[in-house]
């Protein structure tokens, strides 16, 4: 009983921590194990398992996880967490940012769907503009591969979506959405034409830039 009580206190303490501090702890754990495979026999396996325990969709699948692998994206060197599960040969990429028990407020489903719809446009822009990239504000390249973010320069992403919705042809705004494993929500197949108009509008009107993490966060504070 005493052990159970101590574990309960420990869990409540974890939940009281801020999202930022929890994410920093997880990031530190992953950085220390870059390019490593952590099997069940490894003593830190349980630390990785806790990341998955905070995600509802994995609660009934924890015992199927065989191994964890930490890598970096070839495009921007972002940390990637992958798992290998029973009866499946490929590695599955999972979210480590959702490993905190204190959840972020869910983004507006329409905005989330807007973002998902232009994912490929953003990806291609990154790929084309990655060489010799630098932060548009501070020109820093020292931590380039670790902290460059893609940002909508002018107009902002919110302004783009607002202007798009103000056009009469787009007045039939979707209200139901499908779930997407990466971006939260996505447009349903029935809303294909609305989605396509948005993709074309974004392609023609968006101006993208690189920002380092510090400048991007500062910009968000100013915008808010």
Predicted confidence (pLDDT) per residue in 49-59, tens digit: 888 887 777 87
Residue 138 lies in a domain: yes
**Is the model's pLDDT at 77 over the cut of 90?**
no
Do both 178 and 82 map to the same domain? no
Residue 136 and residue 153: Cα distance in Å, rounded? 9
| Angle (deg, nearest 10), helices 109-117 and 119-129 | 50
Do both 135 and 194 map to the same domain? yes
pLDDT of 192: 96
Which structural domain range is residue 162 located in?
Answer: 109-223
Residue 113 lies in a domain: yes
**Is the model's pLDDT at 104 over the cut of 60?**
no
User: Domain boundary at 40, 64, 99, which?
Assistant: 99
Look at the chain and report how many structural domains it folds into. 2
Residue 10 and residue 3: Cα distance in Å, rounded? 10
**Is the model's pLDDT at 187 over the cut of 90?**
yes
pLDDT of 130: 84
Kindly report the pTM of this predicted structure: 0.55
Residue 201 lies in a domain: yes
Do both 128 and 93 map to the same domain? no
Instruction: Indicate the average pLDDT of the chain.
Output: 81
pLDDT of 185: 86
């Amino acid at each position: 009983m005493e052990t159970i009580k101590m574990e309960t206190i420990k869990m409540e303490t974890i939940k009281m921590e801020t999202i930022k501090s929890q994410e920093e702890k997880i990031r530190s754990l992953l950085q220390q194990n870059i390019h490593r495979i952590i099997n069940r026999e490894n003593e830190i396996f349980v630390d990785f398992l806790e990341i998955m325990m905070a995600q509802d969709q994995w609660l009934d699948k924890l015992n199927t996880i065989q191994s964890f692998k930490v890598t970096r994206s070839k495009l921007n060197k972002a940390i990637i967490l992958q798992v290998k599960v029973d009866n499946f040969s490929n590695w599955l990429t999972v979210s480590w940012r959702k490993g905190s028990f204190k959840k972020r407020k869910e983004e507006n489903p329409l905005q989330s769907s807007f973002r998902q719809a232009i994912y490929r446009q953003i990806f291609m822009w990154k790929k084309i503009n990655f060489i010799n990239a630098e932060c548009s504000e501070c020109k820093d390249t020292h931590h380039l591969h670790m902290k460059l973010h893609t940002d909508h320069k002018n107009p902002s992403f919110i302004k783009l979506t607002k202007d798009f919705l103000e056009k009469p042809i787009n007045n039939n705004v979707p209200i139901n959405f499908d779930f997407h494993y990466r971006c939260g929500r996505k447009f349903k197949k029935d809303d294909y034409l609305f989605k396509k108009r948005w993709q074309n509008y974004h392609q023609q009107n968006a101006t993208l830039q690189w920002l380092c993490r510090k400048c991007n966060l500062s910009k968000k504070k100013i915008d808010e």
